[in-house]
Structure 1
Amino acid sequence: MSRTVDGSAHTSAPVLAAYRYCETVTGQQARNFAYGIRLLPTDKRQAMSALYAFSRRVDDIGDGSLDADAKQARLEEARAVLGRVRDGAVAEDDTDPVAVALSDAARRFPIPLGGLDELIDGVLMDVRGETYERWEDLAQYCRCVAGAIGRLSLGIFGTMTPAGPGRAEADRAPEYADTLGLALQLTNILRDLREDAANGRTYLPSDDLAKFGCAEGFSGPVPPAGSDFTGLVLFEVKRARGLFAEGYRLLPMLDRRSGACVAAMAGIYRRLLERIAADPEAVLRGRVSLPGREKAYVALRGLTGFDARLAARGRV
């Protein structure tokens, strides 16, 4: 990125092409995410697309068909790309458009790139097939794969830090962004319960599974015999609701369009959570989702600032 004589930003053609590639990846692969970032001004939308495209690359390695050793090698290659971005060693004509876009975004915004190292660490936990005994263990995984994305995004959004008593609260913005990421990830885990089980992955804490008689896992469209599957889901829904309530405290700290972006993305997942709560066994029958018109409504509601006002009063 260079500057024109009047001090405004000028983005070169190779960098613009790299951003277009990342925006295409985002639009095709992340419908829920895309609903939110389309509400941002161009520079922030581009930067968020670069973050997503790199994150998608890492996730795809973890979800791919390679063996564990090959996945670990590929993840370390992604970490090496991140190292080049961090060192400012990616040229505008580099053949990797994601690296070009992410490098430009990191020059424009104070993005804490270490969060992408955390994402890689989290995906490595998947590759190793780690399971989680307690919520505290699962929360650490969720912080790597989702909370870190919240903190990375905050570097692009920026925060409003008023003087006086509100300053201390504003300093907690990264904590709230992290917590909102945990809420989204726990919702994802509930939504994908059967799909993950079919792929040999169990995320919910083994303590919780045992408590509700679900230790044998989820292999079909009906709950394990003798289990309290509904009780398990509602227990995790309650936990997720608490995380959403805490994470929504971030909204009043963001400018209008950044707040709208976060409210749209979080609102879609919050509604998805409530749909799961209304019919817990639906997650065993298929993928629970929201229709496009409902997602559009949530995005519009975020743009009006309605959720931010509710959050400021502690009512979201």
Structure 2
Amino acid sequence: MRSELDAAGIVDARLRADYALCRALHADHGRTYFLATRVLPPARRPAIHALYGFARWVDDVVDDLGTRTRGVETAAALDALDGELRAGLSGDGSTEPVVRALADTTRRYGIPAELFAAFMESMRMDLTVTDYATYDDLRRYMYGSAAVIGLQVLPVLGTVVPRERAAPHAAALGEAFQLTNFLRDVAEDLDRGRIYLPADVLSAYGVDRGLLTRCRREGRGDPRVRAALAELVALNRADYARARPGLAMLDPVSRPCVATAFTLYQGILDEIQASDYDVWSRRHAVPGRRRARVALPALGRAVMARLTASRAPVPTA
């Protein structure tokens, strides 16, 4: 971590500690994404850790609020969290380490504040919305909870085309990653009273909350649920296909990182399919050996891209 912070030019002791906390959150909760981030140039990693760490921190706070508080108390607690974010982004300063690291990253990379406002709006939905009637409804939620994450990291990754051309693909990849998480975490989300799978797709196969709850209770699937999950996996793979053209639009030194995450997250879908859509008895992850087979060649490509970039002639005025 020290070398990453040095490479990024982060010298203030308190700020270094703030970034270290974000990195720990990333390493603990986002193993697949964290592994992909290791392929990035060291100077860019702290910013990704800050963006992920903030999103993870808010998500954990919201989940905790949902179990401990209700009504006005819940809204007030989330308002306080939102106030910390606004204070940090405005330059007034925040008492929260994760927000301080995030604010530093947004200033360094010029990340628009409205992306974080959209994220907070989706987090507010998690306090009151427990399911989504249609796929379009779910996508509206995922814009704030996932698409904007792709847009936040884009300035850090860099592009070889105007950023607005790459933005739709970055947003699509953020949504693709999140839908994969939703498919993997059906059981855990049910424990929190939430269903992040669209009811219109589920109902087409005769699936409702009662059937999902029974599968969770019994720890085994049902043919109707398996059929619905198969369609949702196919829809998820279409999201990845929409995101794919954006890989070539990224800065060459960033492409191996995103390509690694792109491959590994789809590996989670492979594991779900290989288990005959058993999302009840286990939490699917890409096996370590496969993770290494993907990450190690990507690291080699990343090193070569950095060497090529370092040997490029410096533009003259």
* Match among 237, 243, 262 for residue 241 of structure 1: 237
- Shift in Å, 1:109: 0.6
Distance in 1 (alpha carbons) for counterparts of 2:78 and 2:255: 32
Moved more, 73-82 or 234-243: 73-82
Structure 2 counterpart of 1:223, which letter?
G
1:14-25 equivalences in 2 (<5 Å):
14-25=14-25
CA distance in 2, matches of 1:76, 1:128: 15
Partner of 2:211: 217
Structure 1 counterpart of 2:180, from 161, 180, 187: 187
Would you say the 8 A contact 2:256–2:301 is kept in 1?
A: yes
Q: 1:26 is matched with which residue?
A: 26
**Residue number in structure 2 paired with 1:232:** 228
Q: TM-score, normalised by structure 2?
A: 0.83
**Structure 1 residues 287-296 or 237-246, which shifts more?**
287-296
Which residue number corresponds to residue 69 of structure 2? 67
**Corresponding position: 1:81 with 2:84:** yes
Q: CA deviation at 1:73?
A: 2.5
CA pair 12-213 structure 1, distance change in 2 beyond 3 A: same
Query: What letter corresponds to residue 258 of structure 1 in structure 2?
Result: S
Question: Aligned in 2, Cα 1:302/1:249: closer, same or farther, shift over 3 Å?
Answer: farther
- Compared with structure 1, are the counterparts of its residues 152 and 142 closer, same or farther at alpha carbon in structure 2 (3 Å cutoff)? same
Residues 233-252 of structure 1 show CA distances to partners (whole Å, capped at 9, x for unaligned) of 11111101110011121111
Cα 1:57–1:10 shift into 2, 3 Å: closer
2:296 aligned with 1:293: no
Q: Distance in 2 between the 1:299 and 1:81 partners?
A: 36
Query: Could you tell me which residue of structure 2 aligns to residue 178 of structure 1?
Result: 171
Tell me which stretches of 4 or more aligned residues in structure 1 moved more than 4 Å.
none
| Alpha-carbon contact 1:179-1:244 (below 8 Å) kept | yes
Residues 1-316 of structure 1: pairs in structure 2 closer than 5 A: 9=9, 11-64=11-64, 65-69=67-71, 70-90=73-93, 95-161=95-161, 171-215=164-208, 216-219=210-213, 220=215, 221-224=219-222, 227-303=223-299
Q: 1:233 to 1:72 in 2, by over 3 A?
A: same
Q: CA deviation at 1:223?
A: 3.2
Distance between the aligned counterparts of 2:112 and 2:256, measured in 1?
Answer: 22
Moved more, 54-63 or 24-33: 24-33
Contact preservation (8 Å) 1:251, 1:262 = yes
Q: 1:75: Cα distance to partner?
A: 2.3
Cα distance change on mapping 1:202 and 1:99 into 2, 3 Å = closer
Q: After the TM superposition, which of the residue ranges 176-185 and 110-119 deviates more from structure 2?
A: 110-119
Question: Quick check: which one's helix share is greater?
Answer: 2
Equivalent residue letter for 1:75: L
Amino-acid identity (%): 32
For structure 2, list consecutive stretches of 5 or more residues without a partner in the other structure.
Answer: 1-7, 303-317
Instruction: In structure 2, give the amino acid aligned to 1:297.
Output: R
Q: Secondary structure at the match of 1:285?
A: coil
1:313 corresponds in structure 2 to: none
| Aligned residue identity for 1:27 | A
Distance 1:100 1:201 in 2: 31
Q: Distance in 1 between matches of 2:260 and 2:113?
A: 24
* SS of residue matched to 2:68: coil
Give the structure-1-normalised TM-score: 0.83
CA distance in 2, matches of 1:12, 1:245: 42
Structure-2 separation of matches of 1:201 and 1:127 = 10
- SS in structure 2 of the partner of residue 27 of structure 1: helix
User: Contact (CA 8 Å) 1:191, 1:276: kept in 2 or not?
Assistant: yes
Residues 241 and 305 (structure 1), Cα distance of their counterparts in 2 relative to 1, 3 Å cut: farther
Contact 2:39 2:298 in 1 (8 A): no
> d(CA) in 1 for partners of 2:205 and 2:301?
39
Q: Give the deviation of 1:40 after TM superposition.
A: 1.8
| 1:59 Cα offset (Å) | 0.2
Spell out, residue by residue over 1:61-109, the C-alpha distance to the aligned partner (whole angstroms, 9 max, x if none).
221132233443232222212212221222xxx6532222122212211
Tell me the amino acid that sits aligned with residue 182 of structure 1. Answer: E
Q: How many aligned positions are there?
A: 287
Q: 1:122·1:144 contact (CA, 8 Å) conserved in 2?
A: yes
